[in-house]
C-alpha cells in the first residue's frame, strides 16, 4: 500500500508529500495543519508553508494572530506575525498561504505555532456577503440553507471527518473478517417488498427511451440490497454491501431521508439468529471504537458542544453486552408498564417509536435486541420459527437510545416449500422465480441484517436531526444542488 505521507521536514528538493512531482523550494516544505500541529519542533525551527482558510484574525499593537484551518483537523494552526504583514484581505473565510518557521508555542492550547515570514492571500472573502460570521455559532437549520458552504463550519466539518472514518472502518471490519464487498444495484426492476414508497427511473430525454422505456421494463431505485446480496449467499459464505438506498416517503421527520446509506450483510451456513446478532454488535462496537480512536478531537467537540451527556451514553453502549429479549417478552414489559401509550400493546402489534423508547429505557439505556416477531409483521423472506401455525419468525431489530430501531435482521427462509407457499399466498411466486431458484440449487441456511448509516451516525455523535449527518440531504420538496 501507499505509505502515509512522511513527516520528514528535511527532504531537500523533492516534495515530501509524494503527491506531486514538483520540486518545492527546500526552504518551505508544505505541511497540512494536522501535520504542523504534531510536528516535532524541539529539534529546531523548520521552514514550512501552510495553506488554508482563515478562521480568526486578532490584531494587536505588537502582534497579529491568525488561525488557519485546512480541514485536516478540527484544530487550526496559530499563526503569529508582525502587524506589518497584515493585509486588509486577510479576513475570516479568506484563503491564505503562510510561509514561516514552525516553533514551539508558548501558549498552552497548542504545541506548535507558525511564526510567519510571509502571508499571501489566495482568495478573499467578503465578510458582508459570506453567510457565516466570525465566532458565531449558527443553528443547524441556518447552516443547512447553504449546502455549498456548510463544510466550512466546525460542526459539519467534524461530522464529515467522522463519517469518512466510519466509512473506512466499516469496510475494514467486514473485509478483515472475510466478507466480500458487493456493489448491489442502484437501479432495479424489483419493485417489491410491498413498499410502495419507490422512486421510478426513466431516461429524461425521449431519444433515449425506446418502447417500454430505456430498460424495456419499469425501473426503480433500490430500497435495500438484501435480495441481491442473498444471491451472493449462494457463492460466498459472507458478503456485505454499503451503498445508497431510497424511499419516496412523505416524511419531513428528524429520522427520515429520501436518500440514505445502508450497511447490509449476509452470512451463509448459519442457523442461529445469535450468530447474526453477534456480528451486529461487533460492527457497532468496532466501528465506534475506530471513530473514537481516529477522530478524538471531533468526537470531543460533539460531546462538549453538540450533545451533552452523549459521551457517557456512548461509553455505556460500548462497555455493556447488548440485551436480548423476545418480542413476546417485550410485549409483557410494555403491558406491565405504568406509562400509558398512544398505541395499543397487544401481542401482534408493531412496536411504535414510543414503545421502542420505553424498552430501551427499561433496559437501562443499553441497546436491546428484540427477537422472534409475529409472522405477519415481517416480510416474506423471514424464516418461520414453527412455534405454532405461522406464529413467529426468526427476525430481530436492534433498538438504541435516542434513535429506536437501528438494525433490522433475520434468518431467511431457505426451505423451498415454506417460501414457495408463502409467495403463493402473496401472489408473488412468478415475480420471485429467481429468488426461489436460490433455494432450488444448493440452498443453505442463511441470515443477515441492515443498518441505517445515518441513524448510526446520529446515535454516535448525538446529532438531533438526520439531515445533519449527510452532505446533501434529500427529503420531500428539497433537493438542493
Q: What angle do CA 318, 153, 468 make, to 5 degrees?
A: 50
Of the two residues 9 and 182, which places its CB atom closer to its own copies in the complex? 182
Of the two residues 106 and 217, which places its CB atom closer to its own copies in the complex? 217
> Cell 449467499 sits at which residue?
233
> Cell 431458484 sits at which residue?
437
- Shortest Cβ distance from residue 296 to its own copies (Å)? 16
d(C-alpha 117, C-alpha 11), whole Å: 21
- Shortest Cβ distance from residue 220 to its own copies (Å)? 6
- Shortest Cβ distance from residue 225 to its own copies (Å)? 10
CA dihedral sign, ordered 42, 43, 45, 50: negative
Of the two residues 291 and 351, which places its CB atom closer to its own copies in the complex? 291
d(C-alpha 186, C-alpha 196), whole Å: 17
Contact 287, 166 (CB under 8 A): yes
Q: What angle do CA 448, 454, 459 make, to 5 degrees?
A: 90
Residue among 422, 467, 455 at smallest CA distance from 284:
455
Of the two residues 113 and 298, which places its CB atom closer to its own copies in the complex? 298
Of the two residues 12 and 187, which places its CB atom closer to its own copies in the complex? 187
With H, G, I as helix, E, B as strand and everything else as coil, classify residue 121.
strand
> Cell 440514505 sits at which residue?
260
Of the two residues 272 and 339, which places its CB atom closer to its own copies in the complex? 272
Residue among 303, 320, 307 at smallest CA distance from 364:
320
DSSP run (H or E) holding 377:
none
- Shortest Cβ distance from residue 430 to its own copies (Å)? 14
d(C-alpha 184, C-alpha 466), whole Å: 24
- Shortest Cβ distance from residue 213 to its own copies (Å)? 9
Contacts of residue 371, defined as CB under 8 A and 6 or more positions apart, other chains included, come to 273, 277, 324, 325, 326, 327, 394, 395, 396
- Shortest Cβ distance from residue 264 to its own copies (Å)? 14
Contact 398, 429 (CB under 8 A): no
Neighbours of 113 (CB within 10 A): 24
- Shortest Cβ distance from residue 278 to its own copies (Å)? 5
d(C-alpha 98, C-alpha 84), whole Å: 14
- Shortest Cβ distance from residue 77 to its own copies (Å)? 13
Of the two residues 82 and 197, which places its CB atom closer to its own copies in the complex? 197
Of the two residues 42 and 129, which places its CB atom closer to its own copies in the complex? 129
Of the two residues 189 and 335, which places its CB atom closer to its own copies in the complex? 189
Burial zone of 91 (CB within 10 Å; 0-12 exposed, 13-18 middle, 19+ buried): middle
- Shortest Cβ distance from residue 459 to its own copies (Å)? 18
d(C-alpha 363, C-alpha 371), whole Å: 15
Of the two residues 357 and 474, which places its CB atom closer to its own copies in the complex? 474
- Shortest Cβ distance from residue 396 to its own copies (Å)? 13
Residue among 294, 299, 298 at smallest CA distance from 311:
299
Amino acid at each position: 500500500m501507499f505509505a502515509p505521507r512522511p513527516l520528514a521536514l528535511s527532504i531537500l528538493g523533492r516534495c515530501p508529500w509524494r503527491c506531486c512531482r514538483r520540486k518545492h523550494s527546500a526552504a518551505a516544505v508544505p505541511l497540512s495543519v494536522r501535520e504542523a500541529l504534531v510536528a516535532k519542533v524541539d529539534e529546531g525551527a523548520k521552514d514550512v508553508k501552510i495553506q488554508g482558510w482563515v478562521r480568526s484574525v486578532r490584531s494587536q499593537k505588537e502582534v497579529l494572530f491568525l488561525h488557519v484551518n485546512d480541514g485536516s483537523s478540527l484544530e487550526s494552526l496559530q499563526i503569529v506575525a508582525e502587524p506589518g504583514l497584515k493585509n486588509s484581505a486577510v479576513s475570516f473565510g479568506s484563503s491564505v498561504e503562510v510561509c514561516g518557521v514552525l516553533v514551539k508555542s508558548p501558549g498552552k492550547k497548542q504545541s506548535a505555532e507558525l511564526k510567519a515570514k510571509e502571508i499571501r492571500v489566495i482568495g478573499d472573502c467578503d465578510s458582508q456577503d459570506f453567510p457565516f460570521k466570525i465566532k458565531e455559532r449558527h443553528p443547524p437549520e441556518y447552516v443547512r440553507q447553504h449546502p455549498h458552504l456548510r463544510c466550512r463550519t466546525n460542526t459539519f466539518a467534524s461530522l464529515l471527518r467522522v463519517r469518512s472514518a466510519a466509512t473506512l472502518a466499516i469496510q475494514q471490519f467486514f473485509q478483515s473478517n472475510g466478507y466480500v464487498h458487493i456493489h448491489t444495484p442502484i437501479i432495479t426492476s424489483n419493485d417489491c417488498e410491498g413498499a410502495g414508497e419507490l422512486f421510478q427511473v426513466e431516461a429524461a430525454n425521449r431519444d433515449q427511451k425506446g418502447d417500454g422505456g430505456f430498460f424495456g421494463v419499469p425501473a426503480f431505485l433500490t430500497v435495500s440490497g438484501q435480495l441481491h446480496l442473498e444471491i451472493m449467499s449462494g457463492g460466498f459464505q459472507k458478503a456485505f454491501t454499503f451503498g445508497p438506498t431510497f424511499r419516496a416517503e412523505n416524511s419531513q421527520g428528524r429520522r427520515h431521508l429520501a436518500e440514505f446509506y445502508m450497511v447490509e450483510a449476509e452470512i451463509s451456513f448459519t442457523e442461529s439468529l445469535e450468530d447474526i446478532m453477534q456480528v451486529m454488535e461487533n460492527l457497532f462496537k468496532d466501528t465506534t471504537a475506530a471513530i473514537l480512536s481516529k477522530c478524538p478531537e471531533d468526537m470531543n467537540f460533539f460531546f462538549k458542544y453538540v450533545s451533552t451527556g452523549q459521551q457517557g451514553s456512548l461509553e455505556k453502549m460500548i462497555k455493556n453486552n447488548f440485551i436480548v429479549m423476545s418480542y413476546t417478552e417485550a410485549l409483557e414489559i410494555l403491558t406491565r408498564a405504568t406509562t400509558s401509550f398512544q398505541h395499543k400493546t397487544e401481542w401482534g402489534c408493531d412496536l411504535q417509536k414510543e414503545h421502542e423508547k420505553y424498552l430501551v429505557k427499561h433496559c437501562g439505556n443499553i441497546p436491546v435486541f428484540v427477537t422472534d416477531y409475529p409472522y405477519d409483521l415481517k416480510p416474506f423472506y423471514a424464516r418461520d420459527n414453527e412455534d405454532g401455525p405461522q406464529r413467529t419468525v426468526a427476525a430481530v431489530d436492534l433498538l438504541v437510545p435516542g434513535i429506536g430501531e437501528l438494525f433490522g435482521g433475520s434468518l431467511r427462509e431457505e426451505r423451498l416449500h415454506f417460501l414457495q407457499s408463502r409467495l403463493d399466498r402473496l401472489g408473488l411466486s412468478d415475480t420471485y422465480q429467481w429468488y426461489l431458484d436460490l433455494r432450488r440449487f444448493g440452498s443453505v441456511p442463511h441470515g443477515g441484517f441492515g443498518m441505517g448509516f445515518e441513524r448510526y451516525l446520529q446515535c454516535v455523535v448525538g446529532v438531533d436531526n438526520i439531515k445533519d449527518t449527510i452532505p446533501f440531504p434529500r427529503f420531500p420538496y428539497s433537493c438542493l444542488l
